[in-house]
Structure 1
């Protein structure tokens, strides 16, 4: 999703959602978020789980340095202690090794994944240890640039949606999906807007 797509998508969303129409002039449109696809991107998602953005970036940098480049082959060839010293938890190292083995044995076919419909791709990734629905949706949205994804398990999205909709409390993931169902086929742009709103909404 480039800036032009996001801008047009939000114009369309504003035409069907009065809350977006109200908020869009206040905070403007978000910038694109584009990431590479493949093993390194999936490993980055594992590393980023339940840690701050800053901590995740630091750990990713140390892992990349320790492996002299992130590939499935290099990760499996490295001693687990090397990854632990870079800041990964033992549980995340277990997930990373499982991911690397799945990629190398083609149990997880990354090329085929990129060709799958959203639902099938999410199901395939979610079957991997260490990958829940949120992780799969983040990969589809940012690495595969799918345009109709709403990661409803994301806390910031739920808080932002509750504020945008002027609810007394944040919605549950199920409630959130229902609230944004009419945003299809632009739910990815809507998600980007909610993250933008979360950080910059007027008090």
Structure 2
């Protein structure tokens, strides 16, 4: 009896294009994206406090606005760490374009890291459900934020962020289903298992190439 090779749980520079090719064999529409636009960038971010700050800042605002706020925080703190962020008062946070609500989220994250309740260095070795369980406890970190963290930081291979409008709208456009519900989009994405993260990157690549936006959807 032959053993089935164990599927990878993460993607990397060595297997990224191979996974794209496998998805192209699974779905003719994804294949058409690769043929027309080439492989998507392999978008990643480091596993740092600053990265989680950036993702929180990106919630429900434009990418440009989030990056402007992040750059202001970098400029103000010199090195953006839990310790330096916690030194900023409300007025300084506002001057960095950070709303009162998001300032509370960032301080909560900073305190959790500072007191050891959250340890980012442990997450790469933990299963998805354990990481989600730990992060969802933090105020201001919901499933979209966690999905983005899984995809771009931990490089987990089978995540599709249903809370991401570019992912949803890109899928609808690719499949020519403008009126599809989220449930119907989810059903489509189920056919891309166990490589939904990379499929989503192909979708983003398609969406950005079509709209002419020269930036990753969550960067």
Is TM > 0.5 for Structure 1 vs Structure 2? yes
What is the match of residue 196 of structure 1? 205
SS at match of 2:191: helix
Q: Name the structure with the higher helix share.
A: 1
CA contact (8 A) 1:162 1:171 kept: no
Measured in 2, the distance between the counterparts of 1:170 and 1:89 equals 34
Which is further off, 1-10 or 159-168? 1-10
Residue correspondences, number: 201
CA contact (8 A) 1:27 1:201 kept: no
Tell me which of 183, 187, 197 is aligned to 2:196: 187
SS at match of 1:145: coil
Report 1:23-42 matches (<5 A): 23-42=33-52
Deviation per CA, 1:39-75: give whole Å up to 9, x if none: 1111111111122111111111110111121100111
**Normalising by structure 2, what TM-score?**
0.85
CA contact (8 A) 2:105 2:139 kept: yes
Which is further off, 85-94 or 178-187? 178-187
What is the match of residue 116 of structure 2? 106
Measured in 1, the distance between the counterparts of 2:63 and 2:37 equals 22
Q: CA deviation at 1:193?
A: 0.6
Tell me which of 171, 179, 194 is aligned to 1:161: 171
Deviation per CA, 1:143-191: give whole Å up to 9, x if none: 112122111110011111111112132431x332221112122111111
Q: CA deviation at 1:109?
A: 2.1
CA contact (8 A) 1:134 1:152 kept: yes
Measured in 1, the distance between the counterparts of 2:14 and 2:35 equals 17
Alignment pair present for 1:84 and 2:124: no
Alignment pair present for 1:56 and 2:66: yes
Which is further off, 99-108 or 19-28? 19-28
Could you say what the CA RMSD is over the residues aligned between the two structures, in angstroms? 1.7
